[in-house]
Amino acid sequence: MPILDVNEIRQILPHRYPFLLVDRIIELEEQRIVGIKNVTVNEPFFNGHFPDFPVMPGVLIIEAMAQTAGVLVLKTIPDRANKLVLLASVDAAKFRRPVVPGDQLRIEMTVIKWKSTVAKMAGRATVDGQVVAEAEVMCKIADKPAENSSQAE
């Protein structure tokens, strides 16, 4: 049984289809989280990446890692409805093998450092126990802009 299903994740993260890249959370601790992304042939990016050899773009694997990290960060914040977790940096990203339709990404993120508004996490994504990607991501907690605020020109 998942700890969080996709509906519960949607209550935590602001992302929506087609950009919500975490289907469930299967482990959740204070300093560690494990998420699952089921990669299907219906993903919109496969139409152009690549038509004859569908491969999940590496930047979207990193985004799935960042979203998984975002669930951990936002889950601990009492006023999370008023906060966003923004990706601030990506370091040491490595891609080991292509991720293709039918794969199930297992994304494990572990806290390296966490200060009041910044969290740095190490992550790895695996498929069938084989590492497909690794990276360190830094997330910044920010206030959501007011709904009726307009940007100055």
Is 97 part of a structural domain of the chain? Answer: yes
Q: Is 15 a catalytic residue?
A: no
How many angstroms separate the Cα of 130 from the Cα of each of 60, 98, 105, 114, 126? 18, 11, 10, 28, 5
Query: Which pTM value belongs to this model?
Result: 0.93
The single residue of 10, 49, 96, 120 carrying the catalytic annotation is: 49
Does residue 89 fall inside a structural domain?
yes
Low-confidence ranges of the chain (pLDDT < 70): 1, 148-153
Q: What is the predicted pLDDT for the residue at 146?
A: 82
Beta bridge partners of 31: none
Counted domains in the chain? 1
Radius of gyration of the chain (CA): 16
Q: Which amino acid is at 113?
A: K
- Whether 82 is in a domain gets the answer yes
User: Per the domain annotation, does 149 fall within a domain?
Assistant: no
Q: Report the pLDDT value the prediction gives residue 2, as an integer from 0 to 100.
A: 79
Q: What is the pLDDT of residue 78?
A: 84
138 lies in some domain: yes
Q: CA-to-CA distance for 33 and 77, rounded, in angstroms?
A: 15
Helix (H) or strand (E) holding 121: strand 118-127
Specify the pLDDT at position 70: 97
Structural domain including 12 reads 6-143
**151 in a domain, yes or no?**
no
What's 44's domain CATH number?
Answer: 3.10.129.10
Specify if 1 maps to a domain.
no
| pLDDT attached to residue 151 | 54
Q: Say what the pLDDT of residue 153 is.
A: 45
In a domain, 148, yes or no: no
